[in-house]
Structure 1
Amino acid sequence: MAFISGPVPECFEREVTASPAEFARDLRKASTVEVETVAPGHFRLRGGATRLDIHVAAGGVRRIGLLELPTLSVRYEFSGGSEADRRALLLPLDRAMQRGGG
Structure 2
Amino acid sequence: MAFVNGPVAECFEREVTASPAEFERDLRKASPCAVETVAPHHFRLCVGPTRLDIHVVPRGVRRLGILQLQTLSVRYEFFGGTESDRRALLVPLDRAMQRGGG
Report the TM-score, using the length of structure 2 for normalisation.
Answer: 0.99
- 1:53, distance to aligned residue in structure 2 (A): 0.1
- Shift of the alpha carbon at 1:4? 1.0
* Structure 1 segments unaligned to the other structure (5+ residues): none
The residue type equivalent to 1:43 in the other structure is F
User: What amino acid is the match of 2:100?
Assistant: G
Paired residues for 1:90-101 under 5 Å: 90-101=90-101
- 1:51 maps to 51
| RMSD of aligned alpha carbons | 0.5
Name the aligned partner's letter for residue 92 of structure 1: P
Among all aligned residue pairs of Structure 1 and Structure 2, give the percentage whose two residues are the same amino acid: 78
Unaligned ranges ≥5, structure 2? none
Tell me the distance in 2 between the aligned counterparts of 1:87 and 1:35: 18
How many positions carry a matched residue from both structures? 102
Q: Please state whether the residue corresponding to 1:24 is helix, strand or coil.
A: helix
Whole-Å Cα distance in 1 between the matches of residues 83 and 30 of structure 2?
20
**CA deviation vs aligned residue, 1:39-62 (integer Å, no higher than 9, x gap):** 000000001000000000001111
- Runs of 4+ off more than 6 Å: none
Task: Name 1:87's counterpart in structure 2.
Answer: 87
The separation in 2 between residues aligned to 1:83 and 1:91, in whole angstroms, is: 12
TM normalised by structure 1 equals 0.99
Look up the match of 2:63.
63
Per-residue Cα deviation, 1:53-83 (whole angstroms, up to 9, x for no partner): 0000001111000000000000000000000
